[in-house]
Amino acid sequence: MKKKVLNWLKETLETLVIAFVLAFLVRTFVVQGFWIPSGSMEPKLHVGDRLLAYKLFYGLDKVGRGDVVVFRYPLDPKKDYIKRVIGLPGDTVRIENKRIYVNEKLLDESYIIHGDSWMRGYPRDDYGPVKVPADSLFVMGDNRDFSADSRYWGFVPEENLVGEAFVIYWPLWRINLIRAAPYP
């Protein structure tokens, strides 16, 4: 009887150790969960939403304009931020009267919202032009009038990139895929 209990205990401990190691590896290298603390990405992502971000082999070579990405905030790398990619390395970004131009082409952004029309001014409504450095991204929230983003604190360096958000998994009634905006 004692031998059965010891065998059961050994198998249970081995299973737990393997499960923890696998969970650690998956979280570190494959996918990670994140929580949305602000309304800067509304209407797509709401305060309290939980999402998963794909991390495996994710770098600037995999990023597309319109992707929703998670990154370490450049001014405080302990914080994770989530925003939409507007400008890729080498792009020129300009904002004129709340409209975004990338390489002098107006972006069609039907998914964004502007919370107020009365408060206008630099840098929120008119900005640039700026050229995105070779190792960086220009990102913005979808709730443009209430988003702290590259207009205020600059570019996101490649080393701060964590991954691409791909699914909202909580709350259950909001489960949905997160797709990139259809930019040219």
Residue pointed to by tokens 């039907």 = 110
CA distances from 31 to 52, 119, 132, 164 (A): 6, 39, 27, 9
Residue 126: closest CA among 153, 108, 144, 103: 144
- Catalytic residue status for 83: yes
Residue pointed to by tokens 């490649």 = 158
Catalytic residue selected from 40, 136, 147, 150: 40
Catalytic residue selected from 44, 55, 83, 147: 83
141 Cβ contact partners less than 8 Å away, ≥ 6 residues apart: 40, 41, 83, 84, 147, 148, 149
The secondary structure of 107-165, three-state, reads CCCCCCECCCCCCCCCCCCCEEEEECCCCEEEEECCEHHHCCCHHHHCCEEHHHEEEEE
| Catalytic positions | 40, 83
